[in-house]
Structures are given as structure tokens and as C-alpha cells.
Structure 1
Amino acid sequence: MFKSALKAISAATLIALSTAAFAGGDEDHMTQLKDIEWTQFGNTPLHLSVLWGDRETGPYGMYLKIPGGFHVGEHGHTNTYYAVTIQGQWEHTRAGKKEVLPVGSFVMQPGEEYHDDACVGPKDCILLVVQNGKGDVLLPQ
């Protein structure tokens, strides 16, 4: 019971954050997931779609698509992010703790903390990611 209440509070927090960021925009948007326009992230197999805001400066919200079976590798970000699994089985590892996060799961990943991600199973993972600052990737030395 407590876990489901905590998940509901976490999801409500992300929705409140994303609504606040979206409210700053001046356009109405309604887009079905099947109509999302994806952009390849560098020379990786990852794809993203910025839904609102500016990823270069923040705040922003985006979908991140990780191919099924792909392991991202250890990395970090300058700013804390909040994410919800929209599709697939996202595996997130932080401080040595690995957890598979099915659809509806929530993560608050602190900034400047290295972690690892993978999409386990054959289906692509899609995550809703929200950051109040710029979006970047930090690699271990």
C-alpha cells in the first residue's frame, strides 16, 4: 500500500513539474505518441524528442527512446532529472543498485551522480524526462 501511494505521489510530482514547465510555452500542443518526431542523439542509437522548453538551457521535457536490448553505459548529468517509464522495461542502476522499472515507474536521478541505464527486453523503452536545468551528459574520467 505504501509503495503504491509513494509511486502515485512521485507521478503527481512529475506531472506538476512538467505542467509548470509547459505552462511557460505560448502554444497549445496535442500529439499522439505515434506522431512524435524523433532526433538521433549524436552518433548513438538513442533518439529524443523535446516536448517543451530548451534542452540547451532548461527547463525542458522530452521523450528519450532507448532501443530494446541496448545498454547505455555509465554516465551522469549536471542537473537532477525526473523520469517516468512510458514504454518498455527500463533498467536503471544507481549506487550499485540495479532495478527494472516497468511502465509507470518513476526515478529522481540526482545531478552529478553517475548511473547506468539499459532497455531490457526486445521492445524499445520510451522515457519522459524532465529537467529544470540544461540537458547534458557527463562521462567518467
Structure 2
Amino acid sequence: MKQILFLILITATMISCETTPTETTEAAQEPLASSTNKVVLYSEIEWSPLNPARGDQSPQAGTIWGDRNGKEATGFLVKFANGFSSPPHIHNVTYRGTVIKGLVHNDDPKAEKMWMPAGSFWTQPAGEPHITAANGTENIAYIEIDHGPYLVKPVDEAFDEGERPLNIDQSNIVWVNLSEKVKGPQVSYLWGKPEASEVYGMYLKLPPGFAGKLIHSGSTFHAVVIDGPIDYHLQGEEGTKTLNAGSYFSSAESSAHHLSGNRESATVIYVRTNGTVDVKTD
């Protein structure tokens, strides 16, 4: 009997030694807010002409990360005046666009107007002739390129690399649950291959009244609020920063971003990353 009790005690001790480190390791792997975490409020963005050659007729652009005049990947906002319509033109690089406010049309010069509302997504291939127009009291879009510089050129320099434009109205965005463990947060994958650990883009929708952490792995993380506001809690600082539509937060390494809001509607965020994205509620 004593031998049986001894064996039971030894077995229990071995199980305890095996399970405790695993739980500790899992907890340690969850990243904290990184020193590279960065927040840029919409009110802090500096604006300049998107196409200086057009002077006062040019839309205004505000870079939020990267350098659209350099060779690196870049994200910037564009403001269009009500009734704006560009002449037919091309770009030397492909870009992606997300409507934040107002109505935007981007298509072949001869195409009928397709007014895309906030939350819509489009792509414009390099070398493809097109026009861009806006029809709203306030028209704002987020534009993203994988490399620069971002240039505007005449249609007589058009070229075809085999890529075709894409226009997705907000009503046609398809949402899926981010995780079976956490109910509420949803995603819509827009481009790239998340499973291949490559850079990809997606919409993240947080439910009304969300309070929790957005946790990501990887070396690239750029997030732009498409439909806000939501509060961002900076670690080591008192208070919060309210992220209205067009505001931005990022990190250059695996990190956690603490967000909360008391809205009656969901918050939508555009995310560009090369790692996994998870959401945990408080």
C-alpha cells in the first residue's frame, strides 16, 4: 500500500512539473506594448499637394508612414474637394485605396460613375489609364503603395503589366469571425496571403463597446482607423488618445495595442502586416 501511495505521489509531481512551465511559457509569449508602438492622430497629419503640378486643383495628401517620394512602401491620406474629377492619367506604381469619408469613383475614363462609400476598397494597377472623382462634403481616402516613388503621368505613357483594377463597394465586403474563441471581432482579407507570412492587408471590425488588446506578431504592422472613434491606451502614459477616422497606429515588432470604445456601432480598422493578428477582450 505504501508503495502504491509513493508511486501516486511521484506521478502527480511529474505531471505538475510538466504542465506549469507550459502555462508560464504561453503567458510569456504574449507580447506587451512595444517601445516601437506609434500613434498618429488625424489632427496631427501635415498636408501638401498630391500633384504639385496641378497647383490649387490638386488633392491634398498627408503621409502617415513611409515616404511616397522615396522608394519604400508608404501609406498616406488624400483629401478630395467636393466635385473633384481628375483628368485621365496613369501612375508608375500600383496602389490600393480605401474610402474613409465621402464618395469616391476610380475607374476607366469612359466608365459610368460608381460612387464608393466609406469602407469601400479598390486597387489601381500601374500604367492603367483612369480618372478619380469625389462627390461628398468631405472626401478622404487612404492610399497605400508597396514601393515608390508615387508619380502621376500622362496617358500617352500608359503600359500594361497584366494586372487589372478592382472595385469593392462597402456593401460587398465579406466578413468572417477572426477567432472561434472570441466572439465579436471579424475580419475581411483584402489582398496577400496571411498563411504564407507575407505582407497582406485586411479589414478588422471590432464590436460596439469593445475593450481589449489587439496582439500581433511580425516585423510589420500598420493600422489605419477607417470608421472610428476608438481610444488607444499608451503604456507608461496617463490617459488615452482618441483615434478618429484617419488616425493611425503601428509597431515595428510583435506587440500589443490596447483599445477601447463605447460606440453603439462597430469600429473598422485597415491593417497591413506580415504576421498573425489576434484580439483579446478585457
Alignment of 1:20-59 (within 5 A): 20=146, 26=163, 28-43=165-180, 44=182, 45-56=184-195, 57-59=197-199
Conserved in 1, the CA contact under 8 Å of 2:217 and 2:276? yes
What amino acid does structure 2 have at the position aligned with 1:90? I
User: Corresponding residue for 1:135?
Assistant: 276
Structure 1's 27 and 93: CA in aligned 2 closer, same or farther, altered over 3 A? farther
User: Corresponding residue for 2:158?
Assistant: none
Conserved in 2, the CA contact under 8 Å of 1:48 and 1:62? yes
Structure 1's 120 and 80: CA in aligned 2 closer, same or farther, altered over 3 A? farther
Structure 1's 50 and 119: CA in aligned 2 closer, same or farther, altered over 3 A? farther
Conserved in 2, the CA contact under 8 Å of 1:38 and 1:48? yes
User: Corresponding residue for 1:105?
Assistant: 247
Shift of 1:4: 3.0
Larger Rg: 2
Mean alpha-carbon deviation: is it higher for 119-128 or for 26-35? Answer: 26-35
SS of alignment partner, residue 75 of structure 2: helix
The one-character-per-residue Cα deviations of 1:10-66 (angstroms, maximum 9, x if unpaired) are: 066325783328xxx955321011210001011221000111001222210110000
Shift of 1:77: 2.7
SS of alignment partner, residue 122 of structure 1: coil
Question: Which consecutive segments of 4 or more residues in structure 1 shift more than 4 A?
Answer: none
User: TM-score by structure 1 length?
Assistant: 0.76
* Distance (Å, rounded) in 1 between the aligned partners of 2:279 and 2:263: 26
User: Corresponding residue for 1:72?
Assistant: 212
Shift of 1:83: 1.1
User: Corresponding residue for 2:266?
Assistant: 124
Shift of 1:74: 6.6
Conserved in 1, the CA contact under 8 Å of 2:224 and 2:270? yes
User: Corresponding residue for 1:4?
Assistant: 45
Identity of matched residues, %? 22
SS of alignment partner, residue 145 of structure 2: helix
User: TM-score by structure 2 length?
Assistant: 0.41
Structure 1's 41 and 34: CA in aligned 2 closer, same or farther, altered over 3 A? same
RMSD, aligned α-carbons: 3.0
Mean alpha-carbon deviation: is it higher for 83-92 or for 121-130? Answer: 83-92
User: Corresponding residue for 2:150?
Assistant: none
* Distance (Å, rounded) in 1 between the aligned partners of 2:226 and 2:192: 20
What amino acid does structure 2 have at the position aligned with 1:93? H
What amino acid does structure 1 have at the position aligned with 2:62? A
What amino acid does structure 1 have at the position aligned with 2:275? K
